[in-house]
Amino acid sequence: MKPLILVLCTGNSCRSHLAEGLLRSALGDAFEVASAGSNPAGYVHPLAIRAMEEVGIDLSGHRSKHLDEFLDREVETVITVCGNADQACPVFPGQLNRHHWPFEDPAHATGTEEEQFAVFRRVRDEIAKVFGAYAAGRLDGAR
């Protein structure tokens, strides 16, 4: 069974999906990667989907999930990407690691759609740097 890495944020509509898609792409089949929220928005933000399309990652099949869906799963690593999720995060069965790497919530961006999209791109790229380094370390450690 592959180790499960769970990325959490409050709404599970933007940041956690960006991180999930980037991490899944970087890790390949070595790990299972999922995301959830402490108070799910019920949708994946269209601008998050669009931002990931630009880097060749398809989020169109993702859905907003509550972290409770994972309480009976062995979660090896939990990564929170916002302060609220970090505070609300329970301990999961089998959890060995926990990381907190907060990012700005692009869903709160204002301005025109293109101005908002620029924020999604920037946050995506910030997440890609942090999660790319994390993935490289995990893959090195698995060798």
Q: For the segment 41-57, what is each residue's pLDDT rounded down to a tens digit?
A: 999 999 999 999 999 99
Active-site choice (18, 52, 79, 82): 82
Cβ neighbours around 124 below 10 Å, total: 24
Mean pLDDT of the chain: 92
Active site residue 82: yes
- Rounded CA-CA distance 98/77 in Å is 6
Q: Which two tokens stand for residue 69?
A: 């869906």
pLDDT digits (tens, 9 = 90+) for 70-101: 989 999 999 999 877 556 666 776 778 889 99
CATH of the domain at 56: 3.40.50.2300
Spatial CA neighbour of 91 closest among 114, 69, 71: 71
Q: How many domains does the chain have?
A: 1
Active-site choice (14, 33, 89, 127): 89
Indicate yes or no: pTM above 0.85. Answer: yes
Active-site choice (4, 7, 9, 22): 9
Residue 58: the pLDDT is 97
Active site residue 89: yes
- Domain region containing 80: 4-142
